[in-house]
Each structure stands twice: as C-alpha cells, then as structure tokens.
Amino acid sequence: MTRSPQLRRLHFLNALFAPLTGHDLYLAQQIDDAIATTLGEAEQRTPSDPAFIAATARLFEKLCSTQPQHGFFHWDAGADDTGASPLFTRAGLMTGLKLLAPFAESTLLVTNLRTAHCPPERRWTGRRQRDYDDSLALIRDLAAARTRRSANLNLLFL
C-alpha cells in the first residue's frame, strides 16, 4: 500500500475535524480507521472519492449534532447539473449559511465544485478555469458577507 492516499485522507480529516478534535492527528487516524471499516478497499480511497466524502460528511454531521455549539453544512456542487452556475451556487450556499447563522463555530464543506465545472471526460479550458475561479471567489465573498463578525466559519473545499 502506498502512503500517499492514506496521508491525503489524514490531512483532509485533520482539517475537517480540527474544530472538534483540536488538530489531534491521533484522533484523525482513528476517524480514518472508523471510516475505513465502513468502506471496502479503504486504503485505495482518496479524499476526492465520492463514497469517502459521503461517509466523512455523515460522520462529521453526526458529531456536530452532539455538540450544540458547532454547526455543519455540506454543499455538493455536483449533486445536479446546475451546481456550476452562479445562481444555483448562491442559492445552495445561502441555504447553508442560514442554517449556520446561529452558531458561533461552524463548518461549511463544499465538494465537487471542480467536477461541476469540468466533468472528468472533458478537459480544462481557459473559460472553464475562469468560471471555476469566479465560483470560488463567489463562495468566499458570500461566506464572508453572510457570516457574523463574531462567528468562526471554517470553509473547506474538496
């Protein structure tokens, strides 16, 4: 087994679960082991694997529900064909930001944004890259504008 997929998973898990675990790598390893037991062939799975993302998001949401001071919202841009358009990006994020508004600490996980802009069977063009960069800027600006100054929002892209 190469260490690269496992190392990538641990970095992802450490970043995602840091608000709950305090950047404890030992806990990130235990979380990785827990997810690996639920997924087949876990050692080959990367953080961009849809099954790994779904299992991680479910676990994180479950942990956040036990901690009333931390909110969580997962927006999957690739869930339908409209995720790459600015209008639907804004609508999806506003739904999440409204849910996260009451929390002093929260995490907003954005997944499959690259795939929504350029499916795997297509190649990146200058226009697709500009649209992707514009979507990233829109998400960052919207999160900054719609989050209370006293709140701490962790914005993660995968």
pLDDT tens digits for range 36-64: 777 766 556 666 677 777 788 788 778 77
In the chain, what percentage of residues exceed pLDDT 70?
Answer: 89
Q: Tell me the domain boundaries of the chain.
A: 68-157
State whether the Cα torsion 102-157-27-36 is positive or negative: positive
CB atoms within 10 A of CB 2: 8
Which of the given ranges, 2-6, 29-33, 36-40, 98-102, has the highest pLDDT on average?
98-102
Asked whether 79 and 42 are in contact (CB, 8 A), the reply is no
Letter for the amino acid at 60?
F
Question: Helices in 22-68 by DSSP H: which ranges?
Answer: 25-38, 50-66
Integer CA distances (angstroms), 97 to 51, 56, 114, 130, in order: 25, 20, 21, 25
Residue 73's SS3 state is strand
Element (H, E) at 16: helix 3-21
Q: The pTM is what? A: 0.76
Integer CA distances (angstroms), 92 to 100, 135, 157, in order: 13, 12, 15
User: Residue 46: its pLDDT value, please?
Assistant: 67
